[in-house]
Amino acid sequence: MAPKFKDGDAVVAINGKWISWTHTAVAYTAFFSALIVGMALHFRKIVQNEHYGYPDEWFPSVSATIGDRYPERSFFQVFIAITSGPRFALVFLWYILTARPNSTLPKVVAGVGLFRTFTCGGWTYVTSTDDHDWHDIFMISYLVATLPWTLGCLALSPNNRRAVKYRKIMASLFFGTLVPLIYYFIQHKVHKVPGAYTKYAFFEWSLILFDVGFDAVTALDFEAFEIVVRDVKGVSRGQLKTTADSVLEKEKGKPVGNTFGEGFFWSEIIDAVADAYNGFVLWSMWTALPLLVWYFPLWHMGISGYEVAIVCYLSPILLAVPGLKFVAAKNPRIFHLLSLCGLLAYKVQDPANRLFLIGFSVICGGISWTATLYAERANGSRLEARVFAWGIGLIMSSVAKFACKTNNPVWPIMHAENGGWNKLGLLLAVLAALRTFRQTPTSGGDYLPSGKKGSPVLAGLGVGGLVFAMHSMLSDSSTMISWVWDGYPVRGPIAAPHGAWTIFVMGAGLVYGLFYPRVAGSWTAFGIGSLGAAMVTCYSHWTGFYGALILAFYLLAVTPVLISSAVRHSPAMTFGLGMFLYMFLILFHVWVVAYAFVPGGPLVREHTDWLMTTVMLSIGAGVFSAGVTNASTPKSKTVSPNSRRQRSYYTYVLVALQLLSVSIAYLRFPTNDYVPYHKDEKIATMGIWTVHFGLDNDMWASERRMRDVIQELELDVIGLLESDNQRIIMGNRDVTQSLAEDLGMYADFGPGPNKHTWGAALLSKFPIVNSTHHLLPSPVGELAPAIHATLDMYGEMIDVVVFHSGQEEDPEDRRLQTEYLSKLMGESPRPLILLSYLVTKPLEGNYNTYVSELSGMHDIDPTDWDRWCEYILYKNLKKVGYARVSRDSITDTEIQVGKFAIGEPQSEGDMLIPEEMVPPGRRFPSLFRGQGVRGHRYHVFNEPRYYH
């Protein structure tokens, strides 16, 4: 349609269709002109990546094409600058076209469109060569904003069948392309497959085609729409129905259809955010208590008495006192504000007092949470909102830990120096509490909804099993990944990026449970959830992880069902009984691994399968009770307007968290381009350290202090022992994630937490070609873990074994473990290094089996008589140096370090030489001489030892 000129019109009227096609043509020109120029002038350079070049890789990625070289970068930047004008006009026209009275969605979509335009300028003009971090930040912001832009445009599309059809096709192709895109990126980054980056590049360029093509479809909607103050067909005045109008009319009365048809009010979205943050604070304190309790038996090496603090979880039983129940139901804000004292616990230096403060916080939080649910039981929309907020609080906690590499930033083991956000967390908690509890609950007496209420005992069992399952499996996005991890090569998920999958499935499950509670509470759903539990318990790799995702979805989906059923009974009965079961399950899950230290432990030794069965049966009991309730409750075919608005706002919060988790996954994706400290000299510096679960002597998280000393010692490979924290009592943490990402190292940990050991881990600057996890013979005492890995050290295959033997009290266990490991090392045809915790004296007992003809191993320094636990042994390698470094207050064990020359024959003698005779590249850092740094220094010999 040509531009129109009529009396009263503007002097020039530009057709919207022309703007849309201009935007499309110039955008494609920007990208493909750069591609053509780049391929013509710098083909081999732009197809080269960190692993391979031509002919393995023969097509460039988008980033390499538009940002690495002149003049193609200039071509792209010039044309993309020209695109900006039509782009802003397109966003403006789309808003005019879709704006309707009393509708905020068009404004939100327009805002997202402007945001995408600015972020596009960000990654365009700040290339990966200029500043890789900011380029990635702008790029991921653009990609994340694409989801709400796409969905918003689909929802607001005018009722034009052709446009809607092509818009759906382009959106489906765009998001569908992300799957193979991520797959080939992982093949390139993690597995280093030749040619994988070229395949990734094709899908990346496809995203460009589909992204621009999606916006090009607007030309079909703009055919009768001009950049004039006059609308030729009345679309903007609401005279024509949009797709969103048609869908809402068709879906009227259905849960999803009713959710997003209301106006948008900032006051109510703030309410939803405050509710969700209150849930986050509750889960943060809830998950902190066992972690603080764990500190005391850890340092007492047995039951300390402080374990009794877990009875704080039983606080809902106090609501059996009528006066307390009345006060808590009428004024839950009192107990909630008191519970915030736990966020101040980081100010308390004494570990015992910190534990007591957190215990008080958990008591008040349990009373406040239970009383609030009970008080809102007669108000369906408010009860639903509280349950939604509680579930989102768990997801928010998991997202926070995902961002902070498995430490919750408001935990009392955190402070500013080790990555804590305690002050900000407290400020937001106070504001959220004041916002949420500015009004009293809508009911509080003894009224219960009519109909059958099921069994309070079964309902309580359901609550207890549910809370335990959520805490033990879902309070960190990497916990279930660690269950199914089984070493290199990578055959399953990794913590980043796949932790975002867990978070996404949790959110999807919660939404599904709220929209379709009868399906989520059915026996069919229970059967599917139980299948997922069985799969994650019994299988490894992707099969086990798919079971984990099924279980995560089910647990969040059944949450509204079980909680809604439980509040129909006395809170002291259901939640008190539920927390009693929860406390029992915590002890159960500790006993299965700590059987050697607790009374009756051998009865449940290594029976995680029994634990999982108990949990699912408990949830099944709650499902049965809820089924009785549902059967006596009439089906409601409509959703109240108030509920619709609330659902939409909580869903917005949930979507924001999902987008945040995707961004975190992208930023945390491993680079796998790690370089040893002394690659020119072909030196490998190896270390062994028992890290005491990442809690220092004063009950602070110690990952950053560990990172600093490992980096300053220039360790290329380090074995970490007592490193498995993926249990409730350890906080569901993973010290290897923080260390590996900050230090730039590959990480292997295992056997996993479902294999009942205290954990072993391996961090390496060298690629881990293969690794096998071993459970050594332990008929009496605790299980002994070992990792047997093959590393590619400067082109040579070198074996490294990380091993923790059994405790001193079980000599037969240690004898059997010695024979097993010695045979394993002796059978290896490659050079080998053992980084170990052996519990033996030098030259005595089992030592002479480890260092023997059977194993072929040699002690790094047989004259070092002052050892008991940690040893470094080797074979078929040339040792260069050996040092012992004090721990300061990080743990109870020193760091032992050895240097080896890779590719040089093993020396026959052990002659000590002075440091002056050692080339600088083979020396240990001088930083640790004398008084050292931050309490770390060379001790025992007071200096390193060097050999010739």
- pLDDT tens per residue across span 94-121: 787 777 776 777 888 888 888 888 888 8
Q: What is the per-residue pLDDT across 472-506, written as a single tens digit (0 to 9) for each?
A: 999 999 999 999 999 999 999 999 989 999 999 99
Q: What is the per-residue pLDDT across 371-401, written as a single tens digit (0 to 9) for each?
A: 999 888 877 778 888 999 999 999 999 999 9
- pLDDT-based confidence at 9, cuts 50/70/90? very low
Between CA 573 and CA 570 the distance in angstroms is: 5
- pLDDT-based confidence at 693, cuts 50/70/90? very high
Of these ranges, 182-186, 328-332, 605-609, the one predicted with the greatest mean pLDDT is 605-609
| pLDDT at residue 1 tops 50 | no
Pick from 214-228, 633-647, 685-699, 752-766: least confident: 633-647
Q: What is the per-residue pLDDT across 415-448, written as a single tens digit (0 to 9) for each?
A: 999 999 999 999 999 999 998 887 665 554 444 5
Which pLDDT belongs to residue 700? 96
| pLDDT at residue 580 tops 50 | yes
| pLDDT at residue 350 tops 80 | yes
Angle of CA points 765, 768, 774, to nearest 5°: 120
CB 658 within 8 A of CB 850: no
| pLDDT at residue 267 tops 70 | yes
- pLDDT-based confidence at 635, cuts 50/70/90? low
Between CA 357 and CA 395 the distance in angstroms is: 25
* Domain definitions of the chain by residue range: 14-250, 266-667, 683-947
Average pLDDT for residues 435-462, to the nearest whole number?
A: 71
Pick from 101-105, 275-279, 571-575, 764-768: least confident: 101-105
- pLDDT-based confidence at 29, cuts 50/70/90? confident
What phi and psi, each to the nearest 5 degrees, are found at residue 466? Answer: -65, -50
Average pLDDT for residues 661-682, to the nearest whole number?
A: 89
The CATH classification number of 266-667 equals 1.20.1250
Which pLDDT belongs to residue 226? 62
Which pLDDT belongs to residue 302? 77
| pLDDT at residue 840 tops 60 | yes
How much of the chain, in percent, has pLDDT values that exceed 90? Answer: 56
Which pLDDT belongs to residue 304? 84
How much of the chain, in percent, has pLDDT values that exceed 70? Answer: 90
| pLDDT at residue 32 tops 60 | yes
**Which residue type does 484 have?**
V
More confident residue, 236 or 370: 370
CB 857 within 8 A of CB 850: yes
Annotated active-site positions, please?
Answer: 804
- pLDDT-based confidence at 7, cuts 50/70/90? very low
Mean pLDDT of the chain: 86
Average pLDDT for residues 790-804, to the nearest whole number?
A: 96
CB 447 within 8 A of CB 378: yes
Q: What is the per-residue pLDDT across 584-625, written as a single tens digit (0 to 9) for each?
A: 999 999 999 988 888 888 889 999 999 999 999 999 999 999
Which pLDDT belongs to residue 467? 97
More confident residue, 125 or 774: 774
Which pLDDT belongs to residue 260? 46
319: nearest Cα among 634, 642, 575, 623: 575
What pTM, to 2 d.p., does this model score?
Answer: 0.83
Please provide the DSSP assignment of 735-762 as one string: HHHHHHHHHT-EEEE-S-GGG--S-EEE
What phi and psi, each to the nearest 5 degrees, are found at residue 493? Answer: -75, 160
Burial 308-329 (b: 16+ CB within 10 A, else e): ebbebbbbbbbbeeeeebebbb
Beta-sheet pairing, 683-690 with 717-721 = parallel
More confident residue, 110 or 776: 776
Pick from 155-159, 516-520, 540-544, 920-924: least confident: 155-159
Between CA 842 and CA 851 the distance in angstroms is: 10
CA 453 vs CA 72, 170, 538, 587: distances in Å = 70, 49, 36, 31
- pLDDT-based confidence at 947, cuts 50/70/90? very high
| pLDDT at residue 243 tops 60 | no
Which pLDDT belongs to residue 170? 83
State the DSSP H helix or E strand holding residue 835, giving kind and residue range, or none if neither.
strand 832-837
Q: In what order do the strands lie in the sheet with 784-793?
A: 768-776, 784-793, 796-804, 832-837, 870-875, 858-859
More confident residue, 667 or 265: 667
Q: What is the per-residue pLDDT across 859-912, written as a single tens digit (0 to 9) for each?
A: 999 999 989 899 999 999 999 999 999 999 999 899 999 999 999 888 766 789
The CATH classification number of 683-947 equals 3.60.10.10
Which pLDDT belongs to residue 88? 83
Which pLDDT belongs to residue 257? 47
313: nearest Cα among 575, 699, 616: 575
CB 731 within 8 A of CB 288: yes
Which pLDDT belongs to residue 659? 86
